Amino acid sequence: MSTTPTARLTRVKAIAEARGQIDERMYSKPGVVGSMIGAKIRGGVIQPTVGLTFFVREKASKTDLSPTERVPARVRIGNLSIATDVLEWPQMREQSWAGPTIIDDGRSQGSMTCFGHTEAGAFGISCAHCLVGKDGRPATPTNVDFYSNSNPGWNPAGEHISCIFIRQRPVR
């Protein structure tokens, strides 16, 4: 499969068009609570394959599910074959926040849209265009600050660890 930006964008658009039909089939499976278009992750390593990731509250062993209850490794709609992943997505809890949180990477600003916590610590999620850094390269480690109403002023948040985004060329 070609991995040029144009080929990836074409694939993402095709998956987006088929996603509704696929979601309809997958939501009937036990524990499936959502989906996203994203990179396939195998053994904790991001793969170059774009596919559909399905979220479940808790992963079950394959032996505990019948073949019809499992999310298949690939799904097919017409001629389109799409790799799948299953990620555990524990119950989300509503949080209260004293106002919007703005982040700044030294080049642009945006909203912190989601917060999470893992064994590794707390993290925030924002749109990738807000985290490209002064040099405009998402792979370059960039320090990020956030503005908080509860602690007025710019506060250091740390270094961004991953920016994943698809950029479409401007139409001229």
pLDDT at 70: 94
pLDDT at 96: 56
Rounded distance between C-alpha atoms, residue 56 and residue 58, angstroms: 5
Confidence band, pLDDT 50/70/90 cuts, at residue 170? very low
pLDDT at 89: 80
pLDDT at 100: 55
- Of the two residues 160 and 82, the one the predictor is more confident about is 82
Instruction: Give the DSSP letter of residue 167.
Output: -
- Of the two residues 167 and 49, the one the predictor is more confident about is 49
**Does CATH number 3.30.56 belong to domain 5-88?**
no
Task: Tell me the pTM.
Answer: 0.58
pLDDT at 93: 58
pLDDT at 33: 85
Q: Residues of CATH 3.30.460 domain(s) within the chain?
A: 5-88
Helical spans, DSSP H, in the chain: 5-26
Rounded distance between C-alpha atoms, residue 167 and residue 169, angstroms: 6
Per the CB < 8 A criterion, the answer to whether 22 and 13 are in contact is no
Residue 172: pLDDT over 50: no
pLDDT at 95: 55
Rounded distance between C-alpha atoms, residue 46 and residue 80, angstroms: 22
List, for residues 77-128, the tens digit of each pLDDT value: 999 999 999 988 876 555 555 555 778 888 888 777 777 777 777 777 777 6
Structure tokens at 126: 């924002």
Average per-residue pLDDT in the chain? 78
Residue 2: pLDDT over 70: no
Phi, psi of 18 (to 5 degrees): -90, -15
